[in-house]
Amino acid sequence: MTIYFSKITQVVLLSFILLFLFLCGCDYGRMSEQESIRPYEIALPEMPRGTIPVGGGSEVLQKGNPEDLRNPLAANDEDIARGKDGYGYFCLMCHGLSADGNGTVGQSFYPLPTNLKGPYVQNQPDGALFYKISYGFRRHPPLTYTIAEEDRWAIILYIRSLKKIK
């Protein structure tokens, strides 16, 4: 029995064979050039500033009462502006542009997100706010793995500055 291939089938088959042979000869990385640690080398590079550790950082929160914590940042314009940027990126969609809890996403929640200008938030110590931002409460998600510790403190400075704008 003779197998007959049409011209198109022959061209397609030949193309696949040539493509296979071509790709077999390609020199692409097969883990032959990978970074590795050799004896007597430093094991870990220095971590960039602001990197959040796997454990989430904030070891301070795991030792004692969060309400006793004090904000390590000074309430200067630079840190407040940094907090405003962080608020705009992480908080704005729920708490809203005016921080009253009427953000685009926050409107779908019942009850609405907390009014950050109100006395409930403004009368809390910085450590309590830091704890709630870090570990979450009610519908508020835990942000300890999302926002660097210094940025969380800066966001608290911005929230404190809203009281003056009120």
- Of the chain, the end-to-end C-alpha distance in Å amounts to 92
Residue 59 has pLDDT above 60, yes or no: no
CB 115 within 8 A of CB 103: no
Q: What is the mean pLDDT of residues 156-166?
A: 79
Q: What is the mean pLDDT of residues 149-161?
A: 88
pLDDT at residue number 149: 84
pLDDT at residue number 32: 61
Answering whether pTM is above 0.85, one says no
Listed range (5-9, 49-53, 86-90) with the worst mean pLDDT: 49-53
pLDDT at residue number 15: 93
pLDDT at residue number 143: 84
Q: What is the mean pLDDT of residues 133-157?
A: 85
pLDDT at residue number 26: 65
- Can you tell me the distance from the alpha carbon of 93 to that of 86, in angstroms, rounded to the nearest whole number? 12
The domains located in the chain, with CATH, are: 59-165 (1.10.760.10)
By C-alpha distance, which of 60, 63, 81, 85 is closest to 71? 60
Torsion 78-83-86-92 (CA) sign: negative
Write out the E strands in 22-155. none
Percent of the chain with pLDDT over 70: 71
Q: What is the mean pLDDT of residues 16-24?
A: 84
